[in-house]
Chain A
Amino acid sequence: MNQENSPEKCIQGATGLVLNEPLLWEKGKKGRTGISIPKQDVEKAETDPNLVGEGPDFPDLSEVDIIRHYTRLSQWNYGVDAGHVSSGVLHHEIQPKDK
């Protein structure tokens, strides 16, 4: 075993949480959408220009952008399956794994 791979040098897993996933606003591209919106089968109606706004500031993402983002976040979740969790006052009765 060379020096690089020695047990002292090799990091088996990061301790704590490493949250360096970009925000959804920093991903995606204008025009993408993650859901299939039903087709427009009626005529466009007239709107009142005084009432119409710009809509919310949401990023445009594809389905796979979203799946990867949330899957990545879920893998950083720390719970009883990843390590010790001390019993809280509310939920201590439902942690059989930690006993």
Chain B
Amino acid sequence: VAVQTPNFFGVIEDLSAVSEKIHQAQALLVACASEPLAYGLYKNPGTQGADIACAEGQSLGVPRSFGGPALGMFASKMAHVRNMPGRLVGKTVDMEGRRGFVLTLATREQHIRREKATSNICTNHSLCALASAMYMASLGGTGIRELARLNFDKTEYLKGQLKKSGVKIAFESPTFNEFTAQFPSGFQSVYEKLLKRKLWPEFLCPYYPELPDHYLLCVTETKTREDLDELVREVTT
């Protein structure tokens, strides 16, 4: 059973609770995330019972490039590694006891399984993964915590300011750096004005016709308090 958290609406799911039910039914819990930075602040999927975890890695140092090359992140409990696509590198020692690294498991890769392969890793994936590793190294343990915290605090600030101005927050559950707001009907014209100014809430109606006037907003460390105040002014006047 695949569960996305933070989910499409930006809400954090209670993985521990669903994990229990899923495992009672003898199924596996696959946790997915489009924003892995959330785990700089929140409990990681493994500690909450996920058997497999995957995430979009683009926000960890890979440019947007019009949606172009990025990387996926993939982890599993040891029990499932033989079914895993991709290549696992293991640590070992040579005959003189020196540490070395070697391609250990690639059971589902193109050159091992041919027609039964489930993955095909190419040079460009490695390049994106290397850039991402450097970005994560640059952040470090302290940095990733600080950055995640900053994303969370700024998002909560915008949420609070919108609430004060009378905008309805669609879901009361905790979020990370995205949340869903319900604007008054007729917001479409304000939305189009915002698009021209490159302030870009995402309109959810095309995906969920039952949620008219709902918009998804995202705040990262790149936005200042002034930017957020400006957005609040724009949407409420």
Contact = CB atoms under 8 A, between A and B. Distances in A.
Given A34-B143, A53-B42, A61 B156 contact: no
A44 B157 CA distance: 9
B140 interface: yes
A52 B41 contact: yes
Q: Interface on chain B toward A: helix, strand, loop, or mixed SS?
A: helix
B26 interface: no
Contacts, number: 108
B143 A60 contact: yes
Contacts of B98: 20
B72 interface: no
A37 B150 contact: yes
Interface in A30-76: 30-35, 37-38, 40-48, 51-53, 55-61, 63, 66, 69-70
A85 interface: no
B12 A51 contact: yes
A52 B43 contact: yes
Contacts of B135: 35
Interface stretch (B162-170, B182-190, B219-227): B219-227
Interface residues of A, number: 35
A60 B153 contact: no
A56 B40 contact: yes
A30 B142 contact: yes
Given A42-B157, A47-B41, A58 B150 contact: no
B152 interface: yes
A3 to B, nearest CB: 26
A38 B222 contact: yes
Contacts of A37: 143, 146-147, 150, 221
Interface of B: 12, 39-44, 47, 98-101, 134-150, 152-154, 156-157, 160, 174, 221-222, 224-225, 228
Nearest 5 CB-CB pairs, A to B? A45-B156, A53-B43, A34-B138, A60-B140, A42-B157
13 contacts: A33-B139, A37-B146, A37-B150, A43-B157, A45-B157, A46-B156, A51-B12, A51-B174, A53-B41, A53-B42, A56-B44, A58-B136, A58-B144
